[in-house]
């Protein structure tokens, strides 16, 4: 008998309404996803402020912001870090987009980015670096899971243009 090959295929969230949420923002107040209808939204989850991979990812989004702006896209970075941590991170690297604090992990769980991870035989819970491209109608257009930072901003821009 032959082996059954299962393709990863598109993420199960693609084409569906993006789960709504409200989180405290690094720019003050709260951001409610549904209030951004009419704009494209790049919602990216990252493990921790001011760590090498997360800094590289944030700076690549920062450097591409004029292009994101031209595509009528709002970039939102989400981690479990506090607003105070986000503020230091944003100031240190002159980040020009909003960071959201999900200390209770509710939104991480809503988007299935809080995962059991394994690193050098050590198992722990952490954020799976993921990006969700949400269209102007609030539907998930594209999902990137287990993101590799190098060139990711270009992949996201390509998904926005598609």
- Can you give the residue ranges of every domain in the chain? 37-161
- Considering 18, 41, 43, 54, which one is annotated as catalytic? 54
The per-residue pLDDT for 6 is: 40
- Cβ atoms of 101 and 23 within 8 Å: the answer is yes
Query: Could you tell me the pTM of the whole model?
Result: 0.91
- Cβ atoms of 142 and 14 within 8 Å: the answer is yes
Reading the block at residue 142, the tokens are: 């594209």
Has residue 3 got a pLDDT over 50?
A: no
CA distance linking residue 27 with residue 12, whole number of Å: 32
CATH topology of domain 37-161: Glutaredoxin (3.40.30)
Neighbours of 146 (CB within 10 A): 8
**Is 59 one of the catalytic residues?**
no
**Using one digit for the tens of pLDDT, what is the confidence trace for 103-151?**
999 999 999 999 998 888 999 899 999 999 999 999 999 999 999 999 9
φ/ψ (deg, to 5) at 151: 80, 5
Residues 66-89 have a mean pLDDT of 97
Has residue 71 got a pLDDT over 60?
A: yes
Across the chain, mean pLDDT equals 92
């Amino acid at each position: 008998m032959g082996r059954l090959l299962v393709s990863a295929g598109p993420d199960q969230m693609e084409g569906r309404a993006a789960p709504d949420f409200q989180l405290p923002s690094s720019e003050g107040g709260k951001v409610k996803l549904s209030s951004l209808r009419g704009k494209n939204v790049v919602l990216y989850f990252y493990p921790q402020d001011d760590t090498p991979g997360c800094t590289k990812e944030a700076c690549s989004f920062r450097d591409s912001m004029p292009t994101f702006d031209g595509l009528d896209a709002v970039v939102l970075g989400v981690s479990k870090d506090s607003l105070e941590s986000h503020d230091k991170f944003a100031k240190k690297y002159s980040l020009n987009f909003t960071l959201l604090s999900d200390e209770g992990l509710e939104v991480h769980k809503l988007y299935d980015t809080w995962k059991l991870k394994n690193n050098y035989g050590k198992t722990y819970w952490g954020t799976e670096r993921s990006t969700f491209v949400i269209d102007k109608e609030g539907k998930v257009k594209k999902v990137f899971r287990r993101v590799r930072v190098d060139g990711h901003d270009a992949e996201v821009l390509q998904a926005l243009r598609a």
